[in-house]
Amino acid sequence: MLEPPVVIAVALLYLGLLFAVAWWGDKRADQGRSIIASPTIYALSMAVYCTTWTFYGSVGRAAVSGIGFLPVYLGPTLVMALGWIVLLKMIRIVKANRITSIADFISSRYGKSHGLGGLVTIIAVVGIIPYISLQLKAVSNTVSLLLSYPEIVMPHRSATMSVGADISFYIALILAAFTIVFGTRHLDATERHEGMVAAIALESVVKLVAFMAVGVFVTYGIYNGFGDIFDHVEAHDELRRLLTAIPSGAGYTGWFSLIVLSGLAILFLPRQFQVAVVENVNEAHLKRAAWMFPLYLLLINVFVLPIAVGGQLHFAGQGVDADTFVLTLPMSQRQEGLTLLVFIGGLSSATGMVIVETIALSTMVCNDLVMPMLLRHKRAALAESKDLSGLLLGIRRGAIVVILLLGYLYFRLAGEAYALVAIGLISFSAVAQFAPALIGGMYWRGGTRGGALAGLSAGFAVWAYTLLLPSFAKSGWLPGDFLAQGFFGVDLLRPQQLFGLTGIDEISHCLFWSFLANIGAYVGVSLLRPPMVAEATQATLFVDALSDPGQGGAILWRGRAQVSDLQELVGRFLGPTRAQAAFAAFARRHGRDGNSTPEADAKLVQFAESLLAGAIGSASARVMVASVAKEEPLSIEEVMHILDEASQLRTYSRELERKSRELTAATLELQEANERLQELDRVKDDIMSSVTHELRTPLTSIRAFSELLRDDPKMHLADRERFLGLIVSEAERLTRLINQTLDLAKIESGRADWNGCELDLKEVVEQSIAATSQLVREKEAHVEVDLPDNLPLILADRDRLIQVMLNLLSNAVKFLTPGSGRIRVTLSRRDDGLEVSVADNGPGIRPEDQQLVFEKFRQVGDTMTAKPSGTGLGLPISRRIVEHFGGQLWVESVPGEGATFRFTLPFAPAQPPADASPAA
């Protein structure tokens, strides 16, 4: 079963499966139905952290240092607890600025600096190469082991072995080809690879299952559980010492350094940055990943110690490398299926790491190293080319091959001298150098480009001197005496006892000196001068990223560009079709017709820049856009002004939205109120006009008659007396009008005096009839009454009620035909009060006029004969009085048969209120 063709076939089949998953994931992503939109897949993709270092190396580490393999998993666990704070901010920044790599992130933060992006890329590539070589070493070792099955022969590689005969060289090439097909099939503006993430998540499951299977097999198959394994240890003093103490070589300092290093690695390793930040589809997934990823780490480590101890016991004295126990233990038991599963698990952990890492690195090399150089030196050639997307892909593919070959080279140079974990730690120490510039950049506005350059350079130099060069020296590729005697023989410059610092392990040693140099230079140089415009701009965008959810940066650009130029520019890098689609989508999103305005506004320019940033990095994108846009430089005051404004706007935007909704509602209310007011105003105007009219009319008569009398002293006595009589009656009418107008105004404004008391309504009605008896007699009319005794009392103002009754009675009398008029007054009890009716047999009121009579100055009557003598205010006042006491006043009438005015008043409450407040 483990014949070479079978092994190779299974390996190729597995890679084919991964490719199918990736292809399917990309297809679904294109259809908008993402298969990775799940927090669990996100957490599993983060487990790309577990490489062959974990799969094979942890056991090797545990075999020599006991639980010393653990801190590199405890660090990530701790950092994931802070993920909701730090990673979230990184994700927000990356999404808002279309950042595609860690180099892009740092260069963008410090003013889109080409130099900085290039430096970060170099550090990342150089730093990661040992790590890639680690994977090559693990895979080629396992392949060699399998090829010699059933014998267990430790792979041996001589430095003189030709490249053509070296299996790991072919593995490097296969991995490069696989990665190219996998990750650089097309160019994406966002640099997101959904298919790759799906495949990585699958690999994480495979390697966990494989490792757990070996763990269970060793613990429960070869031995009898955890207790049994550790029982066997009792007999081996050396093993016992290993298990019960923090390894003396590293001590607590080394332990702590590893926690710090791995915590930083989980953030800054290019592949971790890729899956956790760039490939994040939904920041809410962070929450699940916060515990699920650490749980994965815990599970994959549970059996490390049992396997290590079991291997030590099993292969005692056989010279089997502990780094291979995971594979050699099942091999030694002839467990072919399990062996194959382990091989696939190891392959998973290697390919996952290599794919993501090299894709991330190739993006950085292309965007932050090669493109800037091309822009600088081959600008003209670039400008001529219509479609550069092929060139970009070519650069990336080349970078992938070069990186893997460099990994192979390092493996050949230094790989043999170190265990897997030790090689990995060299890489961890390198990427940790990004921490000051990156974390500082996210939380400290004062960091400058110069500071970042100085810090990164210093940290990188110290790392290279204290870790990288010694690794060459230990392999014999550099003179070994430089390790023992220091550079130029200067004792203080011994790379691993720099300035005489001894007593700590080499990793802690490097961490201390490199961070001292890095942070010192970063802070020190940053403080030399205030940030420049571009730096301050980006600092604000990065530092305030969390207070600015889902927002792109403020638009800090002022200039002129043609839409067609921009589209052509983007088309050169992304391909014309995709550029056109992107621009059309942008136009649609912003509701504008793409062709109508040839001049691009700041938003469109920024959009174009962000599209380009995805393909060629933010710094290059800025240069390219600047080449077609005539930018007018902004002064720092202007930038700060825009930023202040923007951040204030953002701060208040939510509140503004709420306010705006309230305002909309308020506006509606105001409109309604305004309409009501205008209506009231119109009514008031009408009333003023009516009042004026009503006042002027009697005045006209009075003045005319007075002047006639004055101008004609010889007027006939009869005329004179008649005129004087008219003057008096018009004056009375005027007085009445003024009184009633004031009365109504008082009632309407609520300032009328009401003397509420309990009344016998019958008495009020009788008194009113008596008061109008003279009028009735003059019209020779007849009044009938129907007033029952012993009715309940009502609460009202006696004088006001008499006013109402007099008004109704005099109205009735007014319209009666002299001689035949009849008025009937009744008082009756209703459910909730008393009702008074005054009915006449006059001409009646037309239905359409029955409401009008209660309006001010509306007099209704047959004016062919004469205008009714009245003010037009009697009924409106009466209605208000009745309503004030909680009753109603209305009229019923059939034209020709008379009119009946009725009003109701409620019974007095048992406990009359002290103050009869208005009921209307």
Partner 1 sequence: MSKKILIADDEQNIVISIEFLLRREGFEVLVAGDGEEALARVRAEKPDLVLLDVMMPKMNGFDVCQALRADPELSATRILMLTAKGRDTEVSKGLGLGADGYMTKPFSTKELLAEVRKLLET
Partner 2 sequence: MQRRILAGDRLIAAFLAGCVLFNYPLLAVFDRPTEVFNIPLLYVYIFIAWAFVIALMAWAVERRLK
Which positions lie near partner 1, rule CB under 8 A? 689, 692-705, 707-708, 711-712, 719, 723, 726, 730, 863-864, 866-867
Identify which of residues 562 and 697 has a Cβ nearer to partner 1 in the complex.
697
- Binding of partner 2 by 60 (CB under 8 A): no
Identify which of residues 603 and 720 has a Cβ nearer to partner 1 in the complex.
720
Cα–Cα distance between 810 and 897 in angstroms, integer? 18
Q: Which of 344, 339, 351 is nearest to 148 (CA)?
A: 339
Alpha-carbon dihedral sign for residues 55, 61, 63, 69: negative
Least separation in angstroms between CB 180 and partner 2: 37
Binding mask 224-253 toward partner 2 (x if CB under 8 A, else -) reads --xxx-xx--------x--xxxx-----x-
Integer CA distances (angstroms), 860 to 147, 426, 729, 735, in order: 119, 106, 21, 22
- Binding of partner 2 by 261 (CB under 8 A): no
Least separation in angstroms between CB 529 and partner 2: 35
Q: Would you call 888 helix, strand, or coil by DSSP?
A: strand
Q: What is the DSSP string of 685-700?
A: HHHHHHHHHHHHHHHH
Q: Residue 57 has what DSSP assignment?
A: I
Asked if residues 844 and 895 have their Cβ atoms less than 8 Å apart, the reply is yes
Alpha-carbon dihedral sign for residues 327, 330, 331, 336: negative
Cα–Cα distance between 348 and 662 in angstroms, integer? 57
Asked if residues 431 and 103 have their Cβ atoms less than 8 Å apart, the reply is no
- Give the CA dihedral 226, 229, 235, 238, nearest 10 degrees: -90
Least separation in angstroms between CB 41 and partner 2: 17
Identify which of residues 718 and 914 has a Cβ nearer to partner 1 in the complex.
718
Integer CA distances (angstroms), 6 to 330, 336, 340, 743, in order: 18, 11, 10, 112
Identify which of residues 693 and 829 has a Cβ nearer to partner 1 in the complex.
693
Binding mask 569-598 toward partner 2 (x if CB under 8 A, else -) reads ------------------------------
Least separation in angstroms between CB 656 and partner 2: 18
Alpha-carbon dihedral sign for residues 824, 829, 830, 836: positive
Cα–Cα distance between 77 and 206 in angstroms, integer? 21
Identify which of residues 244 and 706 has a Cβ nearer to partner 1 in the complex.
706
- Binding of partner 2 by 265 (CB under 8 A): no
Least separation in angstroms between CB 542 and partner 2: 20
Least separation in angstroms between CB 303 and partner 2: 11
- Binding of partner 2 by 546 (CB under 8 A): no
Least separation in angstroms between CB 547 and partner 1: 59
Identify which of residues 277 and 338 has a Cβ nearer to partner 2 in the complex.
277
Partner in contact with 145, chosen from partner 2, partner 1, none, beta carbon below 5 to 8 Å by kind: none
Least separation in angstroms between CB 341 and partner 2: 25
Which member of 288, 720, 762, 824 binds partner 2 (CB under 8 A)?
288
Cα–Cα distance between 51 and 134 in angstroms, integer? 9
Q: Is 94 left (phi over 0), alpha (psi -120 to 50) or beta?
A: alpha
Taken as a whole, the chain contains a residue count of: 920
Least separation in angstroms between CB 632 and partner 1: 57
- Binding of partner 2 by 220 (CB under 8 A): no
Partner in contact with 82, chosen from partner 1, partner 2, none, beta carbon below 5 to 8 Å by kind: partner 2
Partner in contact with 719, chosen from partner 2, partner 1, none, beta carbon below 5 to 8 Å by kind: partner 1
Cα–Cα distance between 293 and 288 in angstroms, integer? 8
Name the burial class of residue 816, with classes exposed (0-12), middle (13-18) and buried (19+) by CB atoms within 10 angstroms of its CB: buried
Partner in contact with 866, chosen from partner 2, partner 1, none, beta carbon below 5 to 8 Å by kind: partner 1
Identify which of residues 697 and 767 has a Cβ nearer to partner 1 in the complex.
697
Asked if residues 100 and 617 have their Cβ atoms less than 8 Å apart, the reply is yes
Q: Which stretch binds partner 2 (CB under 8 A): 146-154, 286-294, 680-688, 882-890?
A: 286-294
CA atoms within 13 A on the CB side of 907: 12
- Binding of partner 2 by 488 (CB under 8 A): no
CA atoms within 13 A on the CB side of 790: 0
User: Strand 782-786 and strand 559-562: pairing?
Assistant: unpaired
Cα–Cα distance between 71 and 484 in angstroms, integer? 29
Partner in contact with 493, chosen from partner 2, partner 1, none, beta carbon below 5 to 8 Å by kind: none
Least separation in angstroms between CB 439 and partner 2: 15
Q: Which of 3, 20, 325, 361 is nearest to 178 (CA)?
A: 20
Identify which of residues 177 and 695 has a Cβ nearer to partner 1 in the complex.
695
Binding mask 291-330 toward partner 2 (x if CB under 8 A, else -) reads x--xx--x---x--x-------------------------
SS (H, E, C) 756-803: CEEECHHHHHHHHHHHCHHHHHHCCCEEEEECCCCCCCEEECHHHHHH
- Give the CA dihedral 739, 742, 743, 749, nearest 10 degrees: 180
Residues in 502-541 at the binding interface with partner 2, rule: CB under 8 A: none
Integer CA distances (angstroms), 413 to 57, 136, 636, in order: 20, 13, 51
Tokens (6 digits) for 414: 């230094």
Identify which of residues 376 and 654 has a Cβ nearer to partner 2 in the complex.
654
Tokens (6 digits) for 162: 């030709």
Alpha-carbon dihedral sign for residues 475, 476, 480, 486: negative
Alpha-carbon dihedral sign for residues 845, 846, 851, 854: negative
Residues in 76-95 at the binding interface with partner 2, rule: CB under 8 A: 77-78, 80-85
Identify which of residues 65 and 859 has a Cβ nearer to partner 2 in the complex.
65
Binding mask 101-120 toward partner 2 (x if CB under 8 A, else -) reads --------------------
Partner in contact with 711, chosen from partner 1, partner 2, none, beta carbon below 5 to 8 Å by kind: partner 1
Cα–Cα distance between 82 and 439 in angstroms, integer? 13
Residue count, binding to partner 2 (CB under 8 A): 35
Identify which of residues 23 and 723 has a Cβ nearer to partner 1 in the complex.
723
Least separation in angstroms between CB 810 and partner 1: 19
Neighbours of 742 (CB within 10 A): 10
Radius of gyration from C-alpha coordinates of the chain: 49
- Binding of partner 2 by 290 (CB under 8 A): yes
Binding mask 611-650 toward partner 2 (x if CB under 8 A, else -) reads ----------------------------------------
Least separation in angstroms between CB 309 and partner 2: 10
Partner in contact with 298, chosen from partner 1, partner 2, none, beta carbon below 5 to 8 Å by kind: partner 2
Partner in contact with 730, chosen from partner 1, partner 2, none, beta carbon below 5 to 8 Å by kind: partner 1
| Residues with Cβ within 8 Å of residue 193, at least 6 apart in sequence | 22, 26, 183, 279, 359
Q: Which stretch binds partner 2 (CB under 8 A): 75-83, 175-183, 748-756, 912-920?
A: 75-83
> How far is C-alpha 325 from the chain's CA centre?
48
Partner in contact with 302, chosen from partner 1, partner 2, none, beta carbon below 5 to 8 Å by kind: partner 2
Binding mask 774-803 toward partner 2 (x if CB under 8 A, else -) reads ------------------------------
Least separation in angstroms between CB 446 and partner 2: 25
Partner in contact with 290, chosen from partner 2, partner 1, none, beta carbon below 5 to 8 Å by kind: partner 2
Where on the chain is the footprint of partner 2 (CB under 8 A)? Answer: 67, 70-71, 74, 77-78, 80-85, 226-228, 230-231, 240, 243-246, 252, 255-256, 259, 287-288, 290-291, 294-295, 298, 302, 305
